[in-house]
A = this chain, B = another copy of it.
Amino acid sequence: MKIKGLVHFVYAICLVSVLLGIQGPVHGRLLSLKKPDPENAAATARWLVSQNSWGVLNTISSELGGAPFGNVVSFSDGEPGKGRGIPYFYLTTLDPTARNALKDQRASLTISEHPIGTCGKTDPENPTCAKITLTGKLKLADKDSKETEFAKNALFSKHPEMKDWPKNHNFEFFKLDIENIFLIDWFGGPKPLTVDQYLHTRTTEYAFILGFLI
C-alpha cells in the first residue's frame, strides 16, 4: 500500500505540473513557464530569450578569412522574472568570439525553443518549434556601471558556476545591442517585430506568475 501511495503522489505532482505549464527546472533554478500564443510575437520572443540559458553567438572571424563563426555561449537577460530582453554574456579573449567582437562588433545570437523542452517530437527546423536570431553589435559593457552590475546579477543568478570561473582568464561582461529581430514561431515566415516592440512588451504577467511559483 505504501508503494501504491507513492505512485499516486508522483502522478499528482505530474498532473499539477502539467496544469501549471511547468516543464521542469532548467539548471535547477529557472522555471519554464507556458509558451505565449504564437500570434503574440513580442511575448514569444521575450519568452524564448528569458527561458533559455544558452544559444549560439555569431561573429565575423578575423582568424578564418571573415567567415561567420558561431560559438556556444551561456547568456542571461536578467534574474529569473526580471529579464529586460537584452542578452548579456561572460566572455574571455582566450576564446575567439570575444576577440572577434573587439575587432568587428557585428554579431547575432541564435536561440531555439528546443532546449526549453516545449517542442515535443516536433522537428527543431519545423517553424512551430520557435527560433529567434537577434542581430546587432556585441559590445563590452562599461566597467563599474549600473548595467554591468545588472549583467553580473543576471548571469550569476542563472549560471551560478560562473562566479567561480578562473580569475586569470579575465572574463568580462558583454552585451548585444539589438538592431534586428528574426523570429519564426509558426508557419508563414518570420514575424514582423521591431526592437522597440520587443523591448517594451508587457512582461508583468509572466513576472508575477514566476514570483508566485518560486
Contact = CB atoms under 8 A, between A and B. Distances in A.
Interface in A65-101: 65-74, 90, 94, 96
Interface residues of A, number: 51
Contacts of A108: 58, 67-70
Interface string A124-139: 1110000101010000
A37 to B, nearest CB: 20
A27 interface: yes
The secondary structure that dominates the A interface is strand
A191 B89 CA distance: 23
A114 interface: yes
A176 B76 CA distance: 31
Interface in A131-186: 131, 133, 135, 159, 161-162, 180, 182
Nearest to A69: B108
A207 B162 CA distance: 37
Most chain B C-beta atoms within 10 Å of own C-beta, residue among A64, A71, A94, A106 = A71
Nearest to A75: B125
A65 B189 contact: no
A55 B162 CA distance: 24
The 9 residue pairs across chains A and B that have the minimum distance between CB atoms: A70-B110, A68-B68, A54-B124, A56-B56, A58-B68, A72-B131, A74-B125, A58-B70, A72-B112
